Every structure is written in C-alpha cells, then in structure tokens.
Amino acid sequence: MTRIACLLATNEPARPTALLQVALAHSPRVEDAGAGRVYLDASGLERLFGDEPRLAARLHEAAAAVALETRVGIAGSRIAALAAARRGAGTTIVEPGGDAGYLAPAPLSLLELSEDVAARLSRWGLRTLGELAALPTAGLFERLGGEGVRLQRLARGEDPRPLASSRPVPLFEESVDCAWGMETLEPVVERMRELAVRVCAGLSARGLAADAFEWVCRLDGGGVHDGALAPAVPMTDPVAVAGLLRLALEARPPRGIVQSLTLRARPVRVIPAQESLTDRSRPSPRLLAATLNRLVALVGADGIGAPALLDSHRPDAVALGAYHPHPHPLPLPLPLPKQPSPLRGEGIVSSTLALRRLRPPAPAAVTLASGRPVALRSSRLTGRIVAGVGPWRSSGEWWSQHPWLRDEWDVELADGTLCRLAHDGSAWHLAGIYD
Amino acid sequence: MAIPIESLPPPGWDREGIDGLLGLFPPGRLSEIVGPRSSGGSSLLLAFIARITTSGGQVAFVDGMDALDPASAAAAGADLSALLWVKCAGRLRAALSAADLLARCPGFPLVVLDLDELGPVPVSAQIRLQRALEGSDTILIVRSARHREGSGASLVVATRRLAPRWMGLRPLTRLAGLRSEASIARSRLHPLSPQGEGRTWTIDWTL
C-alpha cells in the first residue's frame, strides 16, 4: 500500500534546497514539486520513525531546525496528500482507502487544470472533485479524451504515476571559523589548504572534479574579501589546489583580520580519455580543448565542427555542429564492411565513390547540342564532354521564401575527369568533381 | 604453427581487399595518397575514415579546399559525429598549421590533410609534420594531386583512373561508378614483403 507525505513550506526557505534536504533525510524517494512543496514516499518508514503521526512530527522538527514552517499531509496519493496539507495547519492524515471521500469536497482547482479544460468543466457546472469523480467515465472520455479520464482518476484519489525522484545538486563548500582572528597570511593559507583537502575529498568521492574555486574571507569589522580562480584543467588534487589558492591569496591578500573562511568548488564531470578496454582512446579533454581553441583562432569558429546532414533534398544541405568526441562501445565482433565483398577472382574490390564539392559552385559556360552538354568552360575545368547523363531534376522549399530548382548532369570530360554540372534555371555551375 | 592472436585481423577485416590496402598506412608516420582528378583518391580516404569511425575512432579531416561532401562520407559508412571537419578555405598555411596541431593532439587515430590542388606539401612542412607524429599512434595521410620528389612520406599510394562505369544502353541513363587502380608507389616500411612497392589494387567505386 502506497503512502505519500506532502511537505508544504509556508514561509520562504533560507536555502532553495532546504525543504528537499529535510525530505531526503527521511525517505529515499522524494519528488520536488516546486513552489515550496515536496512529496516523499512514506511507505515502510514505520520501523524507522514510528507511525505516521510520529513521522509527521519528525518532519516538522527537522524543518523547524532550518527555520522552515511547514504543513504535513499524508494520504494514499499525491493529490490527497496535497489537499490534506493545504486544508489543515500542522498535520493532517487521511486514513488508508479514504482518499476519494476526503477529496470529494475539494475544489477542482486542486487539479491544476488548463484554462480550456477548467472552462469546460465550469460550463458543465462542476465545482468539486467529487462531482468530477461521479461522472460516467465513457462519456468523459468522449468529450475530453484521455486527459479527462486521467483527471477523473486523480479526483478519485487514484494516482498511477510514480514519484519523480529528485536529488539536490551537490554543493561542495567547506567553511572554518577562527574566533581569535588571523592577522597574517600564513595561517589563512594553512586554513585554506585544509578546506581544499576537504572539498577535494568530497569531489573525489563522487567522481567529480572542479573547474572553478571561489573563496570568501569574512573580516573583522564586517568586511568581506572574496576571490575566485579557474584552473587550466578540472582538478581534484588538493596539493595543486592549495598551491593555486596560495598564489592567488599572496597576489591579493585580505586587508584585515580574517574571522572565517569559506571555500566553494564548482563541480564538473570529467570524461576519461578511455572508459574501458574495449573503447578506443579519445582525445584528452584538456588537450582537445586547447587544440580546438587554436584551430578556431586559425580558421574561425564557423570553419570547424562535426558535419551533420540536414533533413532536406537541397544539394549540399550540411550543417557544422559542435564537435564532442563521445565513446562508441566497440561492438564485438566488428560489423562486416557495408560494401560488397571483393570479387577475389578478378582482384577487384568495391567501395563508395566520393564527390568533391566546389564551394561555392564555380560558374561555368556549357555548350549544348540537342539539349545535351557537349563542352564545359569554367575556372576549374575546361574540356570537351564525351559522355553525360541527365538531367536529374530536383526542387524543394517551393512553399517558402527560398524555393530552389536544379537540373544536374554527370559528365565525363575528354581527359577522363568525371564531374557534376548543375543548372539552377538561369545559369550553369560546376558543382563537384567525382574522385 | 599457431598464429599469435595479436596478429589476427579483426572479424570482417578483409586482408586481400581494400582493408589490406588501408592496413598498410603506418601509425606515427606521414603517408600520401596522390593522383589526378577522378582517380579515386578521395574515395579511398572516405573508405578509410569509415573504417576508423565505425570501429570507435575519432578522425580529423583538414580540408584545404572545403571540398568534403559529408553525404558521400555518410554513404561510405562514416560516422559523421566522430569526424572533426576543419575547413581552411583554400589557405595552404592554415591547413598545414591545423594538421600540425591535430598531429600533436593524441586521441585521433587518423588525421587527413586534404590539399588536392593546393598541394603538394612543402618539404619543410613535411619534416615538421613528421616530427609531430613521432612516437604517436596517429596516421597522417596527405591527399594531393601530385607527388613531390624528395617527399619524406613513408608510404605513397598512387591512384589512377581506369574507366567510368555507366548504366543504360545508349543513351546512357546514369553514372554507376568508377574503376580505378591504387598502387604502392613508395613504401619505406615493407621493402621485402609482398605488400611492398608495386602492388596494385583495382577498385570499383560505386555511386
């Protein structure tokens, strides 16, 4: 039997994740519904916290410890637990199996309806969940489809959707107070080193690294000295981090007596260069980032990336996307080559013919005889055409502002060059050369 | 005598076919594919790129003339998401610098420097590229129309056009492909092996 507890905050939490942390301290399955509301799976918690009133009391206590005022509702479904939490101050518990009856007098607004559905239900004269629950399901399906059936099930306290587990973003932050104050830099650096060791241990335990560190020194008299550093590569080595922090503090020391220190790391997941023995190694993230930056400086940001074919019949419909080397598990055994098997008897092998594009296509002068090209003259290629096939007509995007139409010919020049000619309705172009 | 398992090619690897040719390109060395237009050189490159990317490797393609047709690469079986395309817009120096940078970045089993008519690579740049490759597992292939005498390439594969293949009776209806020949013009790696200089492959490139 499922039991859901709804924890509703009635005041503004000091930290955004405070309510979620309170719930996670009591149940492993917690859904953050936003707006100061979390749901937790209260099933099977009796042996840990006692019966449901005791669980609710513990939730109130834990929330009060972080300056949160809360209401708790416990029922068999999320919607009934929410109604219970909203209806009464303190704790409200709906007995098992009593969700439908408890929800019957609740207003329809509890369902968070869309404007359209709310207007239709209002026109039908419905005001409460009980009235919606009492409607014939088949008729509701005919008028509102599956959404109508879903809403009716919710109104009856039937909620088949499981909790969507939420986890707070881990915060890697450590602080130390020095009531006596630190006047010189050396003890500040030493305390910072200790904080770095603790922060890096937390990062390593989760398999993360940090690509930025921030620190705040609270000074005697209320002042604040803060700073940040971004290492060249994400790191978890406490010695290296402490060394960087020392250099940063020496370059810009705090001006005053330091009363407390806080060090915070921004976690990132570092993908290893080779995740398993069956993977090929990939470029190291640090070297690759440096290389890509240099390449961007060399050829421009629009000249580098991973090619992607666009969903279009337009010739050369290609985009250049961001390049992210990702692991490809090496299939075992390797797939057979897609090309036909070699014709061993003749010593001939077979594969796919490539076209070399000319970008932009080179303007060309084409001589026609009986409607077929017989000579080509362009800046890249000139010659007599000895064979040719075409035209292959393609067109598209006639519904847009930029329609296109092309007639393409594959031709062989007298010197043996195979190329593709294109006529766009007004002029000829040399589109590419087969190679 | 039992064959050591390390020397066995992977399943699907065709020692006698195009895979046998591609298997000759040495890691950590500079190689060249040279040949005139429509001789199958670019098709050979795409076949190699397809072999590498489908087995999980990353390939860098330095495109001197912005001539790569990704649709052809995809048709050859290449995984485009594993392909880093560097477009150099006809600038030889930028292409050479890009290839040099990528040769020094471990993790790319294959780096292609496609120069076509921009080539061949100056000897000084070849030496620099060769130095960048030393000790690495990267195969660097330069594609150019002509071979320069005195080149430091360890393997030079020359491609030669044999004949186009058409479909349909007169009048012809469609270009079906191209038959070309690839031969080892120079090999500093296998001087005494049957895979040494002079060996040829006849390849049918199909559209």
| Residue from B86, B93, B143 whose CB has the most chain A CBs within 10 Å, to mutate | B86
Mean pLDDT over residues B6-11, rounded?
45
Test B84 with A327 for CB contact under 8 angstroms: no
Decide if pLDDT at A105 tops 60. yes
The mean-pLDDT minimum among A67-81, A186-200, A226-240, A335-349 falls in A335-349
Structure tokens, A414: 């007298």
Hey, what are A143's tokens? 């008028």
**Range with lowest mean pLDDT among A54-58, A135-139, A297-301, B146-150:** B146-150
pLDDT > 90: what percent of chain A? Answer: 39
Spatial separation of the C-alpha atoms in residues B154 and B115, rounded to whole Å: 18
Cis peptide, bond prior to residue B171, ω within 30 of zero: yes
Q: Is A267 helix (H, G, I), strand (E, B) or coil?
A: strand
Residue B191, preceding peptide bond in cis (omega within 30° of 0): no
What's residue B17's pLDDT?
67
Asked if the C-beta of B165 comes within 8 angstroms of chain A's C-beta atoms, the answer is no
| Chain A neighbors of B37, CB-CB under 8 A | 417, 433, 435
State the pLDDT at residue A401: 81
Question: In chain A, what residues touch B64 (CB-CB under 8 Å)?
Answer: none
% residues pLDDT > 70 (chain B): 87
Q: Do B72 and A355 touch (CB under 8 A)?
A: yes
Cα separation, A230 vs A288, in Å, equals: 18
- The more confidently predicted of residues A7 and B119 is A7
Residue B195 sits at the chain A interface (C-beta within 8 Å): no
Can you give the pLDDT at residue A338?
42
pLDDT of residue A282: 66
Amino acid B146: pLDDT: 83
pLDDT band at residue A12 under the 50/70/90 scheme: confident
- Residue B14, pLDDT > 70, answer no
pLDDT value at A272 more than 70: no
- Contact between A306 and B81 using a beta-carbon 8 Å cutoff: yes
Render pLDDT for A160-176 as a digit per residue (tens, 0 to 9). Answer: 888 888 776 677 888 89
Over the stretch B185-202, which tens digit does the pLDDT of each residue have? 888 876 545 556 677 888
How far CA B147 is from CA of A328, A418, B133, B156, in Å, comes to 36, 21, 20, 8
- Is the pLDDT at A206 greater than 90? The verdict is no
Q: What is the pLDDT of residue B43?
A: 93
Reading the block at residue A256, the tokens are 């005053």
Of the candidates B68, B100, B101, which has an alpha carbon nearest to the alpha carbon of residue B85?
A: B68
Q: Which pLDDT value is given to residue B186?
A: 85
Average pLDDT, chain B: 84
Residue range B160-187: mean pLDDT, rounded = 87
Stretch A28-52: mean pLDDT:
88
Q: Which amino acid is at A427?
A: A
At residue A337, the pLDDT reads: 41
Q: pLDDT value at position A33? A: 86
CB contact under 8 A, B84 and A305: yes
Whether chain A has a CB inside 8 Å of the CB on B77: the answer is yes
Structure-model confidence comparison of residues A368 and A276, the more confident one: A368
For residue range B112-169, list pLDDT tens digits in order: 999 988 877 888 888 899 999 988 889 999 999 887 777 788 889 999 999 998 888 7
pLDDT score at B9: 45
Residue A44 pLDDT grade (very low, low, confident, very high; cuts 50, 70, 90): confident
Check residue B112 and give its pLDDT.
96
Q: Under an 8 A CB cutoff, do A304 and B87 touch?
A: yes
pLDDT per position as a tens digit, A376-389: 999 989 999 999 99
Instruction: Say what the pLDDT of residue B196 is.
Output: 60
By mean pLDDT, which of A38-42, A297-301, B100-104, B148-152 is the weakest? B148-152
SS (H, E, C) chain B: CCCCHHHCCCCCCCCCCHHHHHCCCCCCCEEEEECCCCCCHHHHHHHHHHHHHHCCCCEEEEECCCCCCHHHHHHCCCCHHHEEEEECCCCHHHHHHHHHHHHCCCCCCEEEEEEECCCCCCHHHHHHHHHHHCCCCCEEEEEECCCCCCCCCCEEEEEEEEEEEEECCCCCCEEEEEEEEEEEEEECCCCCCCCCCCCEEEEEEEC
Bridge partners of residue B157, in order along the sequence: B33, B184
Size of interface A-B (CB pairs under 8 A): 229
Does the beta carbon of B158 lie under 8 angstroms from any beta carbon of chain A?
no
> A315-349: per-residue pLDDT in tens?
899 999 888 775 444 333 334 344 433 333 344 55
User: Is residue B8's pLDDT more than 50?
Assistant: no
Percentage above 70 pLDDT, chain A:
89
The stretch B74-81 carries a mean pLDDT of 90
pLDDT given at position B122:
84
Mean pLDDT of chain A: 85
ipTM value, please give it: 0.89
Q: Contact A352/B109, CB-based, under 8 Å?
A: no
